[in-house]
Amino acid sequence: MMFILYQSILILMLMTIITILLNLVSKKAFNDREKTSPFECGFDPKNSARLPFSLQFFLVTVIFVIFDIELTLLLPLILTIKISNWMNFSITMNLFIFILLMGLFHEQTQGSLNWVK
């Protein structure tokens, strides 16, 4: 037990030393107004360098990522069929799918999935 404690302390000390050394040695980036401005052959830019961003597209993307992560949580449940009770498995799976459908219904009623507003 003490051996694991000593190894943990040693690893923590090494990580701390390496982090400090890397921060001291690393190249620092100094950003000033000239470096962050867009380059257009020395002339002042005509338009803004930042493009307009569609908030609706961002919301749909976030919803897609959330449901994609929930799908990755759902797939390993299939592997547990062999080792679990069928009744417990079906209750868990149905509850999880019900929660997903309620979230989708909530997003639909809030209007997050409508492109035209």
Whether the model clears a pTM of 0.75, i.e. scores above it, the answer is no
- Quote the domain boundaries for residue 93: 57-117
Domain count, the chain: 1
For residue 6, give the amino acid letter.
Y
> Is 63 contained in some domain?
yes
Helices (H) and strands (E) in the chain, counts: 5, 0
- Domain membership of residue 115 (yes or no) is yes
In-domain check, residue 39: no
| 22: in domain | no
In angstroms, the Cα distances linking 9 to 3, 13, 20, 73 are 10, 6, 17, 34
pLDDT (tens digit, 0 to 9) for every residue of the chain, 117 residues total?
Answer: 888 899 999 999 999 999 999 988 887 766 777 667 666 566 666 666 666 777 778 888 888 888 888 888 888 877 888 888 888 888 988 998 898 889 888 888 888 777 765
Residue 9 lies in a domain: no
Is 48 among the domain residues?
A: no
